[in-house]
Amino acid sequence: MTASPRYLVRGASLYGETSADLLIADGVIAGVGSGLDASGATVVDADGLVALPGLVDVHTHLREPGREDAETVETGSKAAALGGYTAVHAMANSNPVADTAGVVEQVAHLGRRAGWADVRPVGAVTVGLKGERLAELGAMAESAAAVRMFSDDGMCVHDPVLMRRALEYVKALDGVVAQHAQEPRLTAGAQMNEGAVSSVLGLPGWPAVAEESIIARDVLLAQHVGSRLHVCHVSTAGSVEIIRWAKARGIDVTAEVTPHHLVLTDELVRTYDPVYKVNPPLRTHDDVEALRAALADGTIDVVGTDHAPHPSEHKECEWVQAAMGMTGLETALSVVQLAMVETGLMGWRDVARAMSEAPAKIGRDSDHGRPLAEGEPAHLVLVDPAARWTVDPAAQATKGRNSPFAGRELPGRVIATFYAGHPTVLDGALNAPHPAFAGAHAGER
């Protein structure tokens, strides 16, 4: 790796607690303290800014290969950097599906060449996401991409025998199955959350039990084979209770919640604006409250963005024709501040746990989610918690314009993101990709 210039981050509030300087050199945190020698270093004034470890997303859709009109690895990883992320896990529902060693290595190569963040491919559990037979899990794990997360996200591994086999295989790989919990027969034709609003609007409902029944089955399967299970985008209060029960029982299960499920409800569907169409659907106020409480007490381990960009023609149409999904990389930290920090449910150290440390452990990203301490990799983000900004999708780096927060004022703003000691974001804007990675080929790192 090419040596990076030195940076002195002066006077940052580490985890929103102690104020200190951070000296960054050669990709690591070379010193932490006060009055550090700034000779030869570029000084970044961080007075009033909170320093956190670089964020890690276990649930990103980068669309490449195959859907470059929606997103590319480069545009998605730029969006990640602007959101404070230094590592993202790219879901497998590309075209072709990331179900072979060749495709996951291609995605990893594209991420490395872009140089904005670590891009870790997620391998498909089943061939073509069809739920019929297992994909090449071992080959993907042993490839240069070193896949450790496997998911058919967008589709549920609904066959219990196949799910059991997947859990058995990933156990030997130190991997994890990240399940999109959706019983397909209970959600056939579903357009929104099943409840009072769907009854009024006359839209087919997506019942909570379709998520909860799969989670209940899978935690028992994970216990049976002694394997790791991760539950994607938990959306109901009942799911929270099942996961809480499973953890109390000692089952190795982790779970994520999206930023949008922490603040938005199905009442928004009354607008018929497809920007609010997402899978799993927006739920009720009671569900939102349960999800917030579960994230605060650790029942839900991480925040995953489920960043899902779509071309405008797939969202600017009638509700029933519109694609499901929302963008989220560039707004996630602000939404978490809004829902969890400004409500007093979590402090910044808790945010670091849920958006960096825990997701890094789930994804086996050993260089990420590390403490802000001397000798640790210099992946970090500086955020201004006092800032307020209005979301303008046209000004974002992602190709997707389908943000449910468009036009809304959000708190907090990412001021700088350091990826392996290099500032990919400075003064709240993209700076440059990491010079040691950008343009490189897989295997050079």
The reply to whether 260 sits in an annotated binding site is no
- Positions annotated as catalytic residues are 306
41-45 and 6-14 beta bridge pairing: parallel
CA 425 to the chain's CA centroid = 19
Would you place residue 4 in the very low, low, confident or very high pLDDT band (cuts 50, 70, 90)? low
Q: Do the annotations mark residue 310 as ligand-binding? A: yes
Domain boundaries, the chain: 6-51+375-430, 54-363
Domains 6-51+375-430 and 54-363 share a fold: no
Residue 59 labeled ligand binder = yes
pTM comes to 0.96
As a whole number of angstroms, the distance between CA 63 and CA 65 comes to 6
Rounded (5°) CA angle 285-333-440: 135
Would you say residue 276 has pLDDT above 80? Answer: yes
Which CATH number is correct for 6-51+375-430, 3.40.50.920, 3.40.50.800, 3.40.50.1820, 2.30.40.10? 2.30.40.10
Q: Using one digit for the tens of pLDDT, what is the confidence trace for 14-34? A: 999 999 999 999 999 999 999
> What does the pLDDT look like over 172-231, one tens digit per residue?
999 999 999 999 999 999 999 999 999 999 999 999 999 999 999 999 999 999 999 999
- pLDDT at position 444 is 40
**Cα angle for residues 398, 399, 402 (degrees, 5° grid):** 90
> Using an 8 Å Cβ cutoff, are 167 and 177 in contact?
yes
Of the pLDDT bands very low, low, confident and very high (cuts 50, 70, 90), residue 438 is low
Is 233 annotated in a binding site? The answer is yes
Query: Under 8 Å CB-to-CB from 360, ≥6 apart: which residues?
Result: 56, 87, 366, 368, 369, 370
The answer to the question of whether 279 is labelled as a binding residue is yes
306 is in an annotated binding site: yes
Q: Please tell me whether 153 is known to bind a ligand.
A: yes
Is 93 annotated to bind ligand? yes
pLDDT digits (tens, 9 = 90+) for 393-436: 999 999 999 999 999 999 999 999 999 999 999 999 999 999 98
| Residue 85 bridge partners (DSSP) | 55
Decide yes or no: CATH 3.40.50.720 for domain 54-363. Answer: no
DSSP class of residue 377 equals: B
Strands 409-419 and 380-390, by their bridges, are: antiparallel
Residue 437 is predicted with a pLDDT of 76
- Say how many residues make up the chain: 445
Report phi then psi at 165, rounded to 5. Answer: -65, -40
Torsion of CA 364, 365, 367, 369, to 10 degrees: -100
E strand or H helix at 229: strand 229-231
Nearest to 434 by CA among 68, 29, 74: 74
20 three-class SS: strand
